[in-house]
Amino acid sequence: MPEVKFYHRPAVPMEMHKVKIVQRLELLPAAERLQKMKEAHYNAFLLHNKDIFMDMLTDSGVNAMSDDMQAGMLRADDAYAGSETFYRMNRKLTEIFGMEHFLPAHQGRACEHIIAVHFVKPGKTVIMNYHFTTSKAHITRLGGKVEELIKDEGLIPASDLPFKGDIDLDKVRECIAREGAENIAFLRLEAGTNLIGGQPISYQNMKEAVAIAKEHGIPTVLDASLLQDNLYFIKTREDSMKDKSIREITRMIGDLFDLIYFSGRKFGFGRGGGCMVRDEELFHNMEDYVTMFEGFLTYGGMSVKEMEALIIGFEESMDFDVISQGPQFIRHCVDELVKCGVPMITPGGGLGAHINAREVVPHIPDHEYPAGALTVAMYLCGGIRGMERGTLSEERDPDGTEHIASVEMIRLAFPRRVFTLSQTEYVIDRVKWLYDHRHLIGGLRFTHEPKTLRFFTGRLEPVSDWPEKLVEAYIADFGEDQ
Ligand code: F0G
């Protein structure tokens, strides 16, 4: 039962679990938050978790485990080689995706590393619906290039399109003709397309894109890290799929691809990752990279306990009730904020609620990182840590100029099964306050800018004393203790 009905009022999203273990949270007063943000060099990644009230940075590795998953950890078979846990994990993934061979890795980007090292040579192109930061970095590091061929309408922030993650099939054909099939390393489709707001790709589109690649002998890869939310959207938004079970849909998707990789920090509610490979020869050709970069072939850098938990997490991901909650909480948050007039990425997708920063703070130029500034402001005004997903997360072009992101967003992630509805309401309230005081928010500039993945560890400063002014206004409305 994915939606519980109410008698006296419109339904609200419902937690289909009860809390068994809790972690205490502290809401520091605004003046202290300002101090903590200064110490973190105006980069939310550098904040200490203890100073955060609502950590909505990511859903990665911070999803709540079920009692069954925790119980599973006790039966993990610890062995350097030949762990029974590995064979159980392989069997479960084979059952779900219909592919036989499993290469374990410590997380999603480790899979991307292995895949890139195997397939990408200088000058080769990888076709994608859209890039993810780490997937692109691994390809460009090896001299490859990325062609993002998402449909144009996928990038329109406010929309009612059900599948904004769909790839443009005409552009795919055109790209193959232009580059030559032999120069395409692989086609990568990303489920639950992260950087455009956790937006899903339809089964139909996956099928057609893969068919084009197959026609030209191009290997096909699915990034299934965010597949869980995408499965929910396929079942609820794609007419021809609504009578299929989540398990059937997953298997139909699995049957399309040559290789499927995932971050177990997202898919499976645990921590880890791996690649499922269809072809035995390809599997053997990639094995060496696991032993070289990750660990022995039966753990690949993962803790065996986490592997055992993931096996159960994969099974829970096949449960429509379980996977419905994330998208329902996100939709509630997005719809309420839209009612408050806040420019959001719509329709609500998976992973989190995404605010369209460019429209909230149009007075901040792109090179002063509007979404980065809004992320700082969100922490100052509520102790909420979101993630910048915009120009700051991009790499500069080879000539040093800023690569301006097509979408400039702040993401408020909803780690699965973690936050309650009242916490969600608090977030909605503070975003609304911030929106009403948006004129007080100013830009940021780098004081230390790393060359790769600069958003993780870069240091910044505000271009004026706007953080102080914003905190003053906040204290005037809520008092010194909030
Ligand atoms: N692919 C997608 C679609 C992702 O969202 C991520 C991670 C990865 C690959 C890499 O996996 O973190 O296990 O190495 N996304 C995280 C996020 C970091 O916060 O969105 P990883």
Sequential DSSP letters for 52-114: -SEE-S-STT-SPPPHHHHHHHHT----SSS-HHHHHHHHHHHHHH---EEEEESSHHHHHHH
The CB of 455 under 6 Å from ligand 1? The reply is no
Q: Which atom of ligand 1 is least distant from the CA of 107?
A: 13
Among 138, 225, 385, 389, name the best residue to mutate to test ligand 1's pocket (greatest count of ligand atoms within 8 A of Cβ): 225
Cβ-based neighbour number of residue 187 at 10 Å: 28
Go through 89-100 and write b for each residue having 16 or more CB atoms within 10 A of its CB, e for each that does not. bbebbeebbbbe
The pLDDT value given to residue 55: 98
Give the separation between CA 385 and CA 249, rounded to whole angstroms.
Answer: 34
Three-point CA angle 396, 355, 261, nearest 5°: 65
Cβ atoms of 272 and 111 within 8 Å: the answer is: no
203 phi-psi bin (left φ>0, alpha ψ -120 to 50, beta other): alpha
Amino acid letter, 468: E
Mutational pocket test of ligand 1: of 62, 106, 265, 351, the residue with most ligand atoms within 8 Å of the beta carbon: 265
Q: Which residues are catalytic?
A: 80, 132-133, 223, 266, 389, 455
Distance 482 CA to ligand 1 centre (A): 33
In this predicted structure, what is the pLDDT of residue 426? 98
Which domains are delineated in the chain?
30-59+320-478 (3.90.1150.10), 68-316 (3.40.640.10)
Site to substitute for ligand 1 among 45, 55, 193, 266, most atoms within 8 A of C-beta: 266
Given a contact cutoff of 8 angstroms between Cβ atoms, the answer to whether 222 and 253 are in contact is yes
Q: Which two tokens stand for residue 161?
A: 């399109």
Tell me which residues of the chain have a pLDDT lower than 70.
Answer: none
- Encoded tokens for 249: 């849909």
Q: How far is the CA of 418 from the centre of ligand 1 (A)?
A: 18
- Strand boundaries in 160-203, DSSP class E: 184-190
Q: Which residues contact 39 (CB under 8 A, 6 or more apart)?
A: none
Instruction: Give the position of tokens 């396929």.
Output: 234
What does the pLDDT read at residue 266? 97
| Atom of ligand 1 lying closest to residue 265 CA | 13
> Closest residue (by CA) to atom 15 of ligand 1?
60
CA 219, 223, 224, 229 torsion-angle sign: negative
Would the CB of 443 count as within 6 Å of ligand 1? no
Separation of CA 479 and ligand 1 centre (Å): 38
CA of residue 271 to ligand 1 center, whole Å? 11
Centroid of ligand 1 to alpha carbon of 158 (angstroms): 24
Residue 407 exposed, middle or buried by CB count within 10 Å (0-12, 13-18, 19+) = buried
pLDDT at 316: 97
Residue 189 DSSP SS3: strand
Q: What is the pLDDT of residue 314?
A: 98
Judge contact between 65 and 283, C-beta under 8 A. Answer: no
Cα–Cα dist 365/430, whole Å: 24
User: Measured between alpha carbons, how far is 87 from 305 in angstroms, rounded to an integer?
Assistant: 14
Residue 190 bridge partners (DSSP): 223
CA atoms of 298 and 76, how far apart (whole Å): 13
Q: How far is the CA of 363 from the centre of ligand 1 (A)?
A: 31
Q: Is the minimum distance from the CB of 226 to ligand 1 under 6 angstroms?
A: yes
Task: Compute, in angstroms, the gap from residue 63 CA to the centroid of ligand 1.
Answer: 13
| pLDDT at position 199 | 98
229 lines ligand 1 (CB under 6 A): no
Q: Which long-range contacts (CB under 8 A, 24 or more apart) does 389-396 make?
A: 389/194, 389/195, 389/354, 390/357, 390/358, 391/366, 391/367, 392/444, 392/454, 392/455, 392/458, 393/133, 393/195, 393/455, 395/136, 395/137, 395/140, 395/452, 395/453, 395/454
- Residue with the smallest CA separation from ligand 1 atom 16 is 60
Contact 287, 297 (CB under 8 A): yes
Predicted model pTM? 0.96
For ligand 1, atom 21: residue with the closest CA? 108
Work out the angle at residue 355's Cα, subtended by the Cα atoms of residues 365 and 327, and round it to the nearest 5 degrees.
155
E-strand stretches of 278-435: 352-356, 384-385, 387-389, 409-413
Give the mutation target among 58, 106, 109 for probing the ligand 1 site: most ligand atoms within 8 A of CB.
109
91/466 Cα distance (integer angstroms): 55
